[in-house]
């Protein structure tokens, strides 16, 4: 008998014995064997032998730790980037403020120089205008003084004529002619004072003519010419102890012309003198 046959017989015997035992147990003829004790619980994860695959929870926890670490690293990188960005921004702001300050200082300097130049120009203009106004004021003052003196000399001339023609009149009264000339009026020597006052008036006018306004100077020159023409043409030739009626008429006509010329001259001088004393209108 070979080995294969022996093994086959042993297996068949075992199967038959097991089937018989099961049948006896089923029919109650054989006692039940005791139940095996409960199996031991699985050891904890920590107790797993080396090289064993960890459970899913451990892997998840490990991934969570890796994620936390990555997040912390990312936050640190962002903080570092934010710090560098803030530093660069602060540098740019500082640089921009410096450039802005320099530009503002340059603009301010230019503006100050312009304002200073304008102030100097305005000051020079004011000084020039003040100089002109001062010189003009001095001229006006001298003109007023000249007008006053010319007026005084003309008044003396008028009074000299009045004293010869109408001696009863007082200075300041309007010049009038008497109905009949006095004998003293017809004497040559009596008119000497008139001639001297006429010359003094004309001489002073001639010296101060440059200070007078052209219309006033022309009017006074015409007055002097009238005085000369009347004295030499109508008065002096007709001064006779016993003049004729024609001579008296010519004398009277000449004196009327002289009196009117003297009155007009005093009115012109009076108006011009008061105009010089009036304040000048302010320039715009």
- Over the chain (284 residues), the average pLDDT of each successive run of 10 is 54 54 51 52 50 70 84 87 85 81 87 90 88 86 94 95 91 88 92 95 96 94 96 93 93 94 94 86 57
Cβ atoms of 240 and 186 within 8 Å: the answer is yes
Q: Where are the domains of the chain?
A: 139-277
- For the record, the structure tokens of 24 come out as 């006896």
Provide the pLDDT for residue 154.
96
Provide the pLDDT for residue 45.
47
263 vs 255: CA distance, rounded Å: 12
φ/ψ of residue 158, rounded to 5: -65, -40
167 vs 212: CA distance, rounded Å: 33
Provide the pLDDT for residue 82.
86
Longest dimension (CA), the chain: 224
Provide the pLDDT for residue 10.
60
φ/ψ of residue 30, rounded to 5: -125, 140
Provide the pLDDT for residue 127.
86
- For the record, the structure tokens of 104 come out as 């503002």
Provide the pLDDT for residue 52.
55
Q: Give pTM, 2 decimals.
A: 0.58
How many residues are present in the chain?
A: 284
196 vs 118: CA distance, rounded Å: 60
């Amino acid at each position: 008998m070979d080995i294969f046959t022996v093994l086959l017989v042993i297996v068949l015997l075992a199967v038959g014995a097991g089937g018989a035992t099961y049948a006896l147990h089923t029919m109650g003829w054989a006692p039940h064997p005791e139940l095996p004790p409960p199996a031991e619980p699985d050891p904890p994860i920590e107790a797993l032998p080396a090289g064993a695959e960890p459970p899913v929870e451990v892997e998840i926890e490990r991934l969570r730790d890796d994620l936390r670490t990555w997040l912390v690293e990312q936050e640190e990188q962002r903080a570092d980037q934010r710090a560098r960005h803030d530093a660069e921004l602060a540098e740019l702001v500082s640089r921009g403020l410096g450039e802005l300050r320099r530009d503002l200082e340059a603009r301010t300097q230019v503006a100050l120089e312009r304002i200073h130049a304008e102030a100097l120009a305005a000051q020079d203009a004011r000084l020039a205008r003040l100089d002109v106004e001062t010189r003009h004021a001095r001229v006006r003052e001298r003109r007023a003084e000249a007008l006053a003196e010319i007026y005084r000399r003309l008044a003396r001339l008028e009074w000299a004529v009045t004293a010869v023609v109408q001696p009863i009149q007082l200075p300041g009264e309007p010049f009038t002619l008497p109905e009949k000339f006095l004998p003293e009026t017809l004497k040559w020597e009596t008119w000497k004072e008139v001639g001297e006052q006429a010359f003094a008036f004309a001489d002073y006018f001639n010296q101060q003519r440059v200070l007078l306004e052209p219309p006033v100077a022309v009017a006074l020159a015409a007055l002097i010419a009238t005085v000369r023409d009347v004295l030499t043409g109508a008065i002096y030739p007709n001064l006779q102890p016993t003049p004729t009626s024609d001579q008296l008429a010519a004398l009277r006509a000449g004196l009327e012309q002289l009196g009117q010329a003297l009155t007009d001259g005093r009115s012109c001088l009076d108006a011009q003198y008061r105009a010089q004393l009036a304040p000048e209108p302010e320039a715009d």
